[in-house]
Amino acid sequence: VESVCISSDLPAVSHTLTALIGNALVHFLLSGIPLRPQWELSTINWHVICSLPKLIDLLDDTVPGIGTYEDFNTIDWVREKSKDRDRHREITNKSKHSTVALLFSISDAFSGWLLMLLIGLMSGALAGGIDIAAHWMTDLKEGVCLNGFWFNHEHCCWASNETTFQERDKCPQWKTWAELMVGVSEGSVNVLNHFMYVSWALLFAFLAVILVRAFAPYACGSGIPEIKTILSGFIIRGYLGKWTLIIKTITLVLAVSSGLSLGKEGPLVHVACCCANILCHFFTKYRRNEAKRREVLSAASAVGVSVAFGAPIGGVLFSLEEVSYYFPLKTLWRSFFAALVAAFTLRSINPFGNSRLVLFYVEFHTPWHLLELIPFVLLGIFGGLWGAFFIHANIAWCRLRKNTRLGHYPVIEVLVVTLLTALLAFPIEYTRMSSSELISELFNDCGLLDSSKLCGYTSNSGSTSGSVNATAANGLGARLAGPGLYTAMWQLALALVFKMLITVATFGIKVTDLDVFLKAKQNIRAQASKHFFFFLISTLGGVTRMTVSLVVIMFELTGGLEYIVPLMAATMTSKWVADALSRESIYEAHIRLNGYPFLEAKEEFRHKTLATDVMRPRQSDPPLSVLTQSGMSVEEVERLIADTTYSGFPVVISQQSQRLVGFVLRRDLVISLENARRHQEGVVSVSAVLFTECDPPASPSAPPAVKLHNILDLSPFTVTVHTPMEIVVDIFRKLGLRQCLVIQNGRLLGIITKKDILKHMAQMANRDPESILFN
Amino acid sequence: VESVCISSDLPAVSHTLTALIGNALVHFLLSGIPLRPQWELSTINWHVICSLPKLIDLLDDTVPGIGTYEDFNTIDWVREKSKDRDRHREITNKSKHSTVALLFSISDAFSGWLLMLLIGLMSGALAGGIDIAAHWMTDLKEGVCLNGFWFNHEHCCWASNETTFQERDKCPQWKTWAELMVGVSEGSVNVLNHFMYVSWALLFAFLAVILVRAFAPYACGSGIPEIKTILSGFIIRGYLGKWTLIIKTITLVLAVSSGLSLGKEGPLVHVACCCANILCHFFTKYRRNEAKRREVLSAASAVGVSVAFGAPIGGVLFSLEEVSYYFPLKTLWRSFFAALVAAFTLRSINPFGNSRLVLFYVEFHTPWHLLELIPFVLLGIFGGLWGAFFIHANIAWCRLRKNTRLGHYPVIEVLVVTLLTALLAFPIEYTRMSSSELISELFNDCGLLDSSKLCGYTSNSGSTSGSVNATAANGLGARLAGPGLYTAMWQLALALVFKMLITVATFGIKVTDLDVFLKAKQNIRAQASKHFFFFLISTLGGVTRMTVSLVVIMFELTGGLEYIVPLMAATMTSKWVADALSRESIYEAHIRLNGYPFLEAKEEFRHKTLATDVMRPRQSDPPLSVLTQSGMSVEEVERLIADTTYSGFPVVISQQSQRLVGFVLRRDLVISLENARRHQEGVVSVSAVLFTECDPPASPSAPPAVKLHNILDLSPFTVTVHTPMEIVVDIFRKLGLRQCLVIQNGRLLGIITKKDILKHMAQMANRDPESILFN
């Protein structure tokens, strides 16, 4: 486990942002929303009535650190949500007394929407920038524009006056590297072009790997499994930090441009989540509350898909169906808003010059026949099988790199893969172009203005069988060795599948590209691309197990309801087939591989075990470590902390009765005791530790007691020993608990943590319970 | 409260169904899925180990009635889901031992999808039938086809050879009533036509009211508030029964045909839910489990919207956003499947002859300008205001009919409204046609083949100001007096809003229908209809507070991504404006008006009260009625039942210790005691009642004890007295509890029921807590 954490300090982030989205907005933000902590202080006097115990004052963070979490730990959703409600109540109460507070209350209510607007703008802008940069750098591998090196091939020739209609792709301003260096444009200099192509690809790939290794190890991979885990309540500090964002953005461009078989769909979700996390820092409401921040991140993942596929509704459904853990209706509305803003921003930037959000906007206008459902369902079956196989092969490969020396040389691995890909990809036009360009080439309707060779207006009787072999080899090579960015090929599954299947499609088209079929070509191409499209969707469905969101994304891509029934039939079939082979999507498989504590919401726990079978301590273990509400000294408590590694301790009335009073977290306890030792006068090792609200009668000579009532959670969740585990799992899932106490007839018997549950589930599924690494 | 319950006996339903969806399928169903109860019996021997207490055997329904609910009560979601998991486990275990059981297990796993398929087919077919019948009967008010009375106007003239291109709407075969009776087709017979039109309308309306009153009082209204309540776990027997379905289907056609300002969108959701509920009877899995059945009903409400608007994705989102309470991912997939099947079925029936799912398919192809956002947002504000006003007026009116004598004469009310509507609607062509025809007229692109007067190919300089007044009066009349079906106008809010706004739109178009503007008309019409459309959407958003689903429905209706950003802007504005005025949608307002126990998931509970403030008994009340696990006699228990009205009793170890053992439901207790008295030998009033698993030592002369361990829930939910109510509300919502016990330091102190929570919430919102009527 890499635990390199990058601290994200506020000024630096604000600096980056200022550059990114303009001075005015950030200044408005920074001035409009005060960051002063005193808003958060509770004003309720806790000592008015002593007989009635009060609930734990979660806002009272006079002792710094209380109420926060350690890295690689799970948050307590209930506690976080309580904190937010307390905060909201505070603001509402204050707003009745002064105008400033009222204004603040209003700005607080709208801050969520403002944040969504900013996330949408920033992600849309970044996605647009990535698209443009990747386009330019992809072309840079082949040549350079004399009018200005920052023009890509298309722009260069558009701007030129010497471009003819027949050969719009060629203009004197655009020089291949061979032309520039040797000066001739004959076919014999192809070797030089090939060499330059490979060199640039290697350079880009090398830069990408080095940047990731040096600055942001978390920037590797698509990030979707980690984001899924984070959304479920896990903490990985720095995973969504500013360094990750910067490096991920740069290396995404480099990796895509290097020609590796990877796409920007998954990483864009990560980039959008980084934006959201960074922007959260400007809003107290979200900065200080892990649960609220996760609502924002859920929306951000919708934004990511929205800009990747140009599908705002699909993005929202992707977030709902695939990544989110807690998705209330409020988040639904906000996600939709943010996704639309992002799509609109991207469209305004217009990176592809076609007024579309994506390069591969596909239009299906021909109606379909009922009989066509049969091939579509067959494609669904094949896609599901392929998806399940892909997940299996991918996980096997990742396990291999994890356990053998293969994973120790990421830089070399990437360079080898890039070399192979570049060497094999250059000779054939269709493998040389980027995936999205190729898809666009395949699906766009042929028109008179279209210079594509596939349309048959220029006839090339090129290499058919040879090139097909090469393409297949390239696809195979890419599949075996992976996208290359440092950890594994799996993480860019989406793009990989796209690219892999392109080889299939290219095959289909090359065959028809003979003169005899020239007349029928147009029709065959439409049929072939339609079936390829369905196969592609089915495979994506088999790999990710998305259904509704996938159909909606494709619906938004193809822009018509015409094909919704066949699409649904194909994706549903694919999901069923893949589910029959293995229950996990690629994301879940990788979450499990990495041992993250993720409680899957989709699958029900079906075993007939009871809470008593799972709770700690077991029968053979020593009794449960508990604190008593009074009667323990500072020294005793400190010894208990030192002797154990538990994250929290139940507090009982007395060791004899074992009647539960509350629960205290280890972190809070350690911080409070340290604080008392340092700042409270007269506290010594024999001082009493009191969790009660009222002082018990003590001798006047005794040293002052340490009162820890304020860190005691008086409402811990409890279940009885007879509670079936299925209900316990349900409670953990739905309420987002970290732990739960087990009682019988009023006596505390044990404790169940999220980790215990995950271990138990692993055991019941005949997996290694020790594979669950984190709390 | 009308509590007329219609029992839905299985054979009759199967009969209806056989007629509806064909013999083969039902026979397959009835033979394929055995209905024998022995599948449900538990095979685990509970008496093997006595020292380890076992969880309550929920499957053990040897005593009939145990585990069921009374009418107008709330279900226990946790218990129902446990029951289903136990059932599933049972089947899985058995499937390992025999092939028949394995086949049954497979058919059980696929029964959910089969059920969805059937619901989709049945709802789609019914919706198609309703569309065709309503179209025909609407035309019947004006005249009849000589070729066959079952042809509507359009079909009659299509089939005729004498129809000319210029006057496609007129053909000799289609006779108005005046032509048929008097024999001339002069303008002077208009009075006779008007008389016939009004008579038919009155007849249809009268039939509709009488049918509803006589056979199915539950068939009144749109049904969405009730369905929302049922989905949240409430039981209203007969609300989704076969009589409701039959009568609702017939009266929906009658009511729409009578020309009242109502539409079929809301009722179609009710019809789809009835279909789902009836079809559930054929599947043991769903018939015997209230929670599973509600999953199916959630999907059915998606189906209803899918056929009403021709928007399958919108339907799923409607179910998710507006009506569903518990919506797991599995339900998402199934809803989508069912919605698609229904849409596809409806499309195959092709009720409108245009290959579209709906009559008012709208196409917007003109691009929009950024500045246009301003009028769109303004329309959103206006729509939100109008929506909030509508809800307010509507609720005020409903309260009036509820509390005064006004509500005592539903038949007369409906007839008066119909008379007024018909009298006023006839003179003007646009009010005479049905709402959907009018919308279709307004939005379809003008073509050479279009005979619509609005397109300007035939010029009529008809009455402008006069007709506008009449139209406005009609709209007003309809609004004040309601749609007519027996209870209230509010229940068909969707349709009403449509019709009301048509008057606005008609106004806008009539003004442009002057010769001077004839050239510019086409453009103005497009602009006017676009803005009308946006106003319509905003109002719908303001009334129902839907956002994402509304945008998606409109997206599917208009068939293009072009207008998604303006649509979103309009609906979001409308929701914000309406929310600022009052928090409730029309459905929630009516749920509250009717006092249903609905725990709103959207709004958070924000008050700082604790469980101790809400729990019963209060400080002044007598102590909590509890049972002890042993030591009580049958007589004592029966006296406790007779003296109290509580739905359940906690079981404690002893009255002194008040340590909680479990919880027993009143209904289960009554049934078990009755059963013991009847069937267990030697049980007398002094017999002991035991909730323990092992018999305590008793004297041999004592009468045999009644053992009730099997009805004891050993894992009741508990919270501590210090638990904030916000957390308690959250637990109730997310887990779907009926009650929760309150303990302090292991001692039972009180109980909180769903009704207590709702009363408390009403109190905190300064409403009458006694308005909550049901448990």
Q: In three state form, how does the secondary structure of B618-646 look?
A: CCCCCCCCCEECCCEEHHHHHHHHHHCCC
Three-class SS state of A572: helix
Q: What is the dihedral of CA B353, B355, B360, B361, to 10 degrees?
A: -160
Q: How confident is the model at residue A164 (pLDDT cuts 50, 70, 90)?
A: low
B348-370 in b/e form (b: 16+ CB < 10 A) is: ebebbeeebbbbbbbebeeeeee
Q: Higher pLDDT residue, A158 or A248?
A: A248
Choose among A89, A313, A316: nearest Cβ to B606: A89
pLDDT tens readout for residues B693-750: 877 676 777 788 888 888 888 889 999 999 999 889 988 988 888 899 999 888 899 9
CB atoms A89 and B608 under 8 Å: yes
- Comparing A144-153, B125-134, B235-244, the range with the smallest average pLDDT is A144-153
CB atoms A724 and B55 under 8 Å: yes
Nearest-neighbour CA in chain B from A734: distance (Å) = 6
Classify the C-alpha dihedral A403-A406-A412-A415 as positive or negative.
negative
Choose among A85, A316, A337: nearest Cβ to B572: A337
CB atoms A333 and B606 under 8 Å: no
Q: How confident is the model at residue B54 (pLDDT cuts 50, 70, 90)?
A: very low
Q: Among A605, A729, A733, which residue's Cα sits nearest to residue A327?
A: A733
| Contact indicator for A123, A307 with CB cutoff of 8 Å | yes
Q: Higher pLDDT residue, A767 or B12?
A: A767
CB atoms A551 and B81 under 8 Å: no
Residue A54 has pLDDT above 60, yes or no: no
Residue A467 has pLDDT above 50, yes or no: no
Chain B residue closest in CA terms to A651: B745
CB atoms B564 and A340 under 8 Å: yes
Nearest-neighbour CA in chain A from B719: distance (Å) = 7
CB atoms A548 and B332 under 8 Å: yes
B140 membership: H or E segment, kind and range: helix B99-140
Which positions ≥6 away from A712 have C-beta within 8 Å?
Answer: A56, A651, A661, A662, A663, A664, A691
d(CA B283, CA B117): 13
CB atoms A55 and B321 under 8 Å: no
Residue B753 identity: T
Q: What is the pLDDT of residue A279?
A: 95
Alpha-helical runs (H) found in A459-517? 465-481, 493-512
d(CA B317, CA A681): 60
d(CA B248, CA B271): 7
CB atoms B606 and A88 under 8 Å: yes
The overall average pLDDT reported for chain A is 75
d(CA A387, CA A395): 12
d(CA A247, CA A656): 57
Choose among A82, A313, A344: nearest Cβ to B552: A313
Contacts of A726 in chain B (CB under 8 A): 81-82, 85
Average confidence (pLDDT) over B286-293? 90
Show the tokens assigned to B205: 């309306």
Average confidence (pLDDT) over B381-389? 89
Residue B21 has pLDDT above 70, yes or no: no
Three-class SS state of A650: strand
Residue A92 has pLDDT above 60, yes or no: yes
Helix B290-309 to helix B329-349 angle (10° resolution) is 40
Residue A42 has pLDDT above 50, yes or no: no
Chain A residue closest in CA terms to B737: A731
Q: In Å, how far from its chain's centre is CA B135?
A: 24
The overall average pLDDT reported for chain B is 75
Classify the C-alpha dihedral B729-B735-B736-B737 as positive or negative.
negative
CB atoms B606 and A92 under 8 Å: yes
d(CA B668, CA B683): 18
| Contact indicator for A514, A459 with CB cutoff of 8 Å | no
d(CA A410, CA B54): 54
Chain B residue closest in CA terms to A321: B329
Residue B321 identity: E
Chain B residue closest in CA terms to A573: B337
% of chain A exceeding 90 in pLDDT: 16
Residue A717 has pLDDT above 80, yes or no: yes
The beta strand positions in B153-195, using DSSP E, are 174-176
CB atoms A548 and B316 under 8 Å: yes
- Comparing A27-36, A119-128, B670-679, the range with the smallest average pLDDT is A27-36
Q: What is residue B724's DSSP assignment? A: B
Chain A residue closest in CA terms to B557: A561
CB atoms B85 and A313 under 8 Å: no
What strands, in cross-sheet order, belong to the sheet with B648-652? Answer: B627-628, B648-652, B660-665
d(CA B173, CA B175): 6
| Contact indicator for B704, B728 with CB cutoff of 8 Å | no
Nearest-neighbour CA in chain B from A110: distance (Å) = 11
Contacts of B716 in chain A (CB under 8 A): 720
Average confidence (pLDDT) over A171-198? 77
d(CA B154, CA A458): 51
Chain A interface disruption, residue of B608, B657, B693, most A CBs within 10 A: B608
By the 10 Å C-beta count (0-12 exposed, 13-18 middle, 19+ buried), A184 is classed as exposed
Residue A517 has pLDDT above 60, yes or no: no
Contacts of A564 in chain B (CB under 8 A): 312-313, 340
Q: Among B587, B428, B500, B507, which residue's Cα sits nearest to residue B261?
A: B500
Nearest-neighbour CA in chain A from B750: distance (Å) = 14
Three-class SS state of A689: strand
Chain A residue closest in CA terms to B562: A559
Average confidence (pLDDT) over A139-156? 82
Alpha-helical runs (H) found in A618-710? 634-643, 666-679
Average confidence (pLDDT) over A106-111? 87
pLDDT tens readout for residues A270-294: 999 999 999 999 998 898 899 999 9
Q: What is the pLDDT of residue A128?
A: 92
Q: How confident is the model at residue A488 (pLDDT cuts 50, 70, 90)?
A: very low
| Contact indicator for B189, B462 with CB cutoff of 8 Å | no
CB atoms B602 and A718 under 8 Å: no
Classify the C-alpha dihedral B643-B649-B655-B658 as positive or negative.
negative
Which of the residue ranges A399-413, A436-450, A585-599, B463-477 has the most confident prediction, judged by mean pLDDT? A585-599
pLDDT tens readout for residues B578-592: 988 988 888 888 888
Half-sphere exposure of B318 (CA within 13 A, CB side): 33
d(CA A282, CA A111): 10
Neighbours of A181 (CB within 10 A): 13
Q: How confident is the model at residue A187 (pLDDT cuts 50, 70, 90)?
A: low
| Contact indicator for B342, B306 with CB cutoff of 8 Å | yes
| Contact indicator for A169, A429 with CB cutoff of 8 Å | no
Contacts of A560 in chain B (CB under 8 A): 559
Q: In Å, how far from its chain's centre is CA B478?
A: 23
Average confidence (pLDDT) over A430-435? 60
Q: What is the pLDDT of residue B61?
A: 47
Residue A734, CA distances (Å) to A516, A555, A600 in order: 63, 32, 11
Residue A620 identity: S
d(CA A660, CA B718): 13
- Comparing A644-653, B134-143, B207-216, B439-448, the range with the smallest average pLDDT is B439-448
| Contact indicator for A592, A584 with CB cutoff of 8 Å | yes
d(CA B413, CA A549): 47
Residue B302 has pLDDT above 90, yes or no: yes
Average confidence (pLDDT) over B472-488? 31
Instruction: Tell me how many residue pairs between chain A and chain B have CB atoms under 8 A apart.
Output: 170
Chain A interface disruption, residue of B558, B722, B743, most A CBs within 10 A: B722
Chain B interface disruption, residue of A357, A715, A748, most B CBs within 10 A: A715
Give the predicted TM-score (pTM) of the model.
Answer: 0.80
- Comparing A273-282, B124-133, B660-669, B677-686, the range with the smallest average pLDDT is B677-686
Nearest-neighbour CA in chain B from A661: distance (Å) = 6
B493 membership: H or E segment, kind and range: helix B493-512
Show the tokens assigned to A343: 């799509």
By the 10 Å C-beta count (0-12 exposed, 13-18 middle, 19+ buried), A187 is classed as exposed
CB atoms B53 and A722 under 8 Å: yes
